[in-house]
Chains A and B, each alone.
Chain A
């Protein structure tokens, strides 16, 4: 079997591998927060290793954790779910994403995807043999998904609508009026909504995150994913969830049993501690991201690089079309020249080759250094290009 080409997810991993070769690399690409998991969660995991190491875990997850998830989505997202039948614990948001696609769609179906979008959605749809109908957006409108454009793109095969807010990689937040229009459209055309709320705790300025399932008529047709990777800096624990109507969730559960069978009991107890314990670490991280966002935006302004103002999330999607270069080529050059890793927009959507994604998941001093190096790299590149 031939090696997969360096596109999409494989392109990102090729850049990660290159960055590892530099001892002084500054990573402003990958969505892995620099903060370690809060200590009280690690302590809970250590206790679980002693007290619960052999607990039987059903495919859908421990009931205590599902109850905590139900309380969380009620408190944060205003979604009412029954922990017995409407919650499934997953190996992180990534498995949740795959399960939602497989549960809601069959081969040959089509789904509306606002673009650009997280590259793994494209991979999951390809695996499920589902057709993607992309709705392009640009920095000029802060990557707004226009409901009229969605309506115009619907086909007879369209069965679902993906809503990611804040979006990855654009960091745009879907506004209430647009969300209500999209839900109305989902009703009218009988679409299942796949909602990705993973960045719901990281919202800036006066923007507001609204879960589609919280709006009238939303819950019965919406599967919503979330995970603790970003909010509690728990990327290595692989702990996420899906909530949704019991009928669809029964299918999610069967698929979960077929794909991985369950989720590590230690991660589940760690997740329980995260959801039921102190929430201050989340606020501390959110405050830090707010400061870092400003640092990145200021630096981009200074470099004369346009971008969509991040309304949420942990990254900026910047327009590098003025360079005349493709984002993959530019990212490779920045990495090679100054050992700074940014993600090429082309990895998220081949039509988004004029963008790069820059995360602010580094301490402020390192972030400043990374931006300074990037300024040097851009100067070098523009001088030779």
Chain B
């Protein structure tokens, strides 16, 4: 069928480079997949039991748009305990995963300030969310670890940007801002009365982590997955935690987009909230050990320093990277291409606790 209307809209979409940014898959497809955002994590049977009981009790209907009260309270409590964030239940929206958190924050806060500054190196989901509806987007240059230095953040603020998006830890490299840097960002945000969307989804795997939510609660909109590492990645559940004045517009948009988040996922996450602290404490050393074993096995391959146990980012020349990607693919493995994040010379491996597979990957990379 010839349709000028269709051709025109399809052409507009094709030219939307932000929307069409390639992105890694969310969840690993098997033991040889190191390219997805999330590794396999077993689920505690108590989470299944809680979700099943809720469904059997008739929790199969719409629930409140921002989430069931107990889960919102549990997330606020988690953010206070783990990150010293100043949040209460009213500050929290339960989302259908991290991508909805990105979309709601960028689009709805962005709508009120009309422009947003994002790092040159950022998860592709950020670019995709920005591509849904036109918004003026400016970029901040990054350092060797993929984080915008304080000087770049100040530059963006001085240029008139009042909304910044930052990842700490970086979704690509795992590098996180130090306590001093977080304090400096907080000071700059306060000085310019700016809002910072702060993606802290990888924070549970970063030792010594400092959240901007602790230093600049009035300026920070924190986002992340709800209780990562608890086996809920494919259930799509995340959070937004923000000062109350920002909640209304995002909640309103969430109502328009999805009404609420799946009840089964919410009840499973509620149980996860009770188990996460203990689980994270046991997972973190195992992930760190697996990561260190991988780095040792990689030999002289340059590893970008990062504080996060769940990812390893390798710096490779452009030609070497393509060769490594091909040989990994030929051997049945998968890694995330840093080019999708904005860093051409980087490969990202998501750490699993399967040391055999990790060492096999290291051998392929070394041999390439």
A261 near B231 with CB under 8 A, answer no
A155 at interface (Cβ–Cβ under 8 A)? no
User: Known contacts being A92-B258, A107-B134, A190-B5, is A261 close to B98, with CB within 8 Å?
Assistant: yes
User: Known contacts being A98-B257, A235-B61, is A58 close to B6, with CB within 8 Å?
Assistant: no
A293 at interface (Cβ–Cβ under 8 A)? no
- Chain A residues 225-279 with CB under 8 Å of chain B are 233-238, 247-248, 251, 254-255, 257-267, 270
A361 to B66, CA, bound (A): 24
Provide the residues of chain A in CB contact with B41, threshold 8 Å: 54
A236 near B63 with CB under 8 A, answer yes
The stretch among A123-131, A132-140, A342-350 that forms the contact with chain B is: A123-131
B264 at interface (Cβ–Cβ under 8 A)? yes
- Besides A258-B131, A260-B258, 10 new A-B residue pairs in contact (Cβ under 8 A), listed by A number: A53-B232, A54-B43, A95-B258, A123-B256, A233-B60, A237-B60, A260-B97, A260-B100, A267-B262, A267-B264
A53 to B255, CA, bound (A): 26
A234 near B97 with CB under 8 A, answer no
A284 at interface (Cβ–Cβ under 8 A)? no
A42 near B56 with CB under 8 A, answer yes
Question: Which residue of B has the minimal Cβ distance to A236?
Answer: B263
B81 at interface (Cβ–Cβ under 8 A)? no
A92 near B259 with CB under 8 A, answer yes
Provide the residues of chain A in CB contact with B252, threshold 8 Å: 4, 9-10
B12 at interface (Cβ–Cβ under 8 A)? yes
A1 at interface (Cβ–Cβ under 8 A)? yes
B27 at interface (Cβ–Cβ under 8 A)? yes
Other-chain residue from B20, B235, B248 in contact with A265 (beta carbon distance below 8 A)? B235
Binding site for A on B (CB under 8 A): 1, 3-6, 8-10, 12-13, 19-20, 23, 25-29, 36, 40-43, 48, 51-52, 55-56, 58-63, 65, 96-100, 103, 112, 125, 128-129, 131-134, 231-237, 245-246, 248-249, 252-253, 255-265, 268
Provide the residues of chain B in CB contact with A103, threshold 8 Å: 9, 13
Provide the residues of chain B in CB contact with A107, threshold 8 Å: 133-134
Provide the residues of chain A in CB contact with B262, threshold 8 Å: 91, 236-238, 264, 266-267
Q: How large is the interface on A (under 10, 10 to 19, 20 to 34, 35 or more residues)?
A: 35 or more
Centre residue among B96, B128, B260 by max chain A CB count within 10 A: B96
B62 near A30 with CB under 8 A, answer yes
A262 to B19, CA, bound (A): 15
> How far does the Cβ of A254 sit from chain B's closest Cβ, in whole Å?
6
The stretch among A43-51, A143-151, A363-371 that forms the contact with chain B is: A43-51
A258 near B48 with CB under 8 A, answer no
A259 near B248 with CB under 8 A, answer no
B256 near A236 with CB under 8 A, answer no
A221 near B3 with CB under 8 A, answer yes
> How far does the Cβ of B336 sit from chain A's closest Cβ, in whole Å?
14
A79 at interface (Cβ–Cβ under 8 A)? no
Question: Which residue of A has the minimal Cβ distance to B261?
Answer: A238
A167 to B341, CA, bound (A): 44
Provide the residues of chain A in CB contact with B63, threshold 8 Å: 236
A237 near B264 with CB under 8 A, answer yes
Other-chain residue from A49, A160, A247, A260 in contact with B51 (beta carbon distance below 8 A)? A49
A192 at interface (Cβ–Cβ under 8 A)? yes
A190 to B1, CA, bound (A): 10
Other-chain residue from A9, A37, A92, A104 in contact with B55 (beta carbon distance below 8 A)? A37
A14 to B172, CA, bound (A): 42
> How far does the Cβ of B195 sit from chain A's closest Cβ, in whole Å?
11
Question: Which residue of B has the minimal Cβ distance to A91?
Answer: B258
Provide the residues of chain B in CB contact with A87, threshold 8 Å: none
Query: What are 10 A-B residue pairs whose CB atoms fall within 8 Å in the complex?
Result: A1-B246, A4-B248, A49-B264, A54-B41, A92-B258, A235-B62, A238-B258, A251-B9, A261-B26, A261-B98
B256 near A55 with CB under 8 A, answer no
A53 to B232, CA, bound (A): 7
A152 at interface (Cβ–Cβ under 8 A)? no
Provide the residues of chain A in CB contact with B133, threshold 8 Å: 102, 107, 127-129
B235 near A53 with CB under 8 A, answer yes
User: Known contacts being A54-B233, A265-B234, is A192 close to B264, with CB within 8 Å?
Assistant: no
Provide the residues of chain B in CB contact with A3, threshold 8 Å: 248
Question: Which residue of B has the minimal Cβ distance to A104?
Answer: B9
A50 to B10, CA, bound (A): 41
- Chain A residues 33-79 with CB under 8 Å of chain B are 33, 36-37, 42, 45-46, 49-50, 52-58
> How far does the Cβ of A264 sit from chain B's closest Cβ, in whole Å?
4
A259 near B259 with CB under 8 A, answer no
B98 near A192 with CB under 8 A, answer no
A358 at interface (Cβ–Cβ under 8 A)? no
Provide the residues of chain B in CB contact with A233, threshold 8 Å: 60-61
A336 at interface (Cβ–Cβ under 8 A)? no
A45 near B55 with CB under 8 A, answer yes
A103 to B132, CA, bound (A): 10
User: Known contacts being A57-B27, A107-B134, is A49 close to B43, with CB within 8 Å?
Assistant: yes
User: Known contacts being A1-B246, A123-B256, A259-B257, is A53 close to B43, with CB within 8 Å?
Assistant: yes
A106 at interface (Cβ–Cβ under 8 A)? yes
User: Known contacts being A53-B234, A58-B25, A94-B258, is A259 close to B129, with CB within 8 Å?
Assistant: yes
A262 near B255 with CB under 8 A, answer no
> How far does the Cβ of B276 sit from chain A's closest Cβ, in whole Å?
16
B55 near A259 with CB under 8 A, answer no
Other-chain residue from A106, A234, A254, A264 in contact with B96 (beta carbon distance below 8 A)? A264
User: Known contacts being A258-B103, A264-B234, is A247 close to B6, with CB within 8 Å?
Assistant: yes
Question: Which residue of A has the minimal Cβ distance to B58?
Answer: A36
Contact with B along A1-41 (1 / 0, CB 8 A): 10110000110010000000000000000101100110000
- Chain A residues 184-242 with CB under 8 Å of chain B are 190-192, 217, 220-221, 233-238
> How far does the Cβ of A76 sit from chain B's closest Cβ, in whole Å?
22
> How far does the Cβ of A270 sit from chain B's closest Cβ, in whole Å?
8
Provide the residues of chain A in CB contact with B26, threshold 8 Å: 56-57, 261-262
Provide the residues of chain A in CB contact with B48, threshold 8 Å: 46, 49-50, 53
Provide the residues of chain B in CB contact with A56, threshold 8 Å: 25-29, 36, 234
Question: Which residue of A has the minimal Cβ distance to B256?
Answer: A123
A263 near B236 with CB under 8 A, answer yes
A183 at interface (Cβ–Cβ under 8 A)? no
B27 near A55 with CB under 8 A, answer yes
> How far does the Cβ of B15 sit from chain A's closest Cβ, in whole Å?
11
> How far does the Cβ of A225 sit from chain B's closest Cβ, in whole Å?
13
A238 near B10 with CB under 8 A, answer no
A255 near B19 with CB under 8 A, answer yes
B5 near A192 with CB under 8 A, answer yes
A45 near B99 with CB under 8 A, answer no
A296 at interface (Cβ–Cβ under 8 A)? no
> How far does the Cβ of A363 sit from chain B's closest Cβ, in whole Å?
14
Centre residue among A32, A192, A266 by max chain B CB count within 10 A: A266
> How far does the Cβ of A279 sit from chain B's closest Cβ, in whole Å?
18
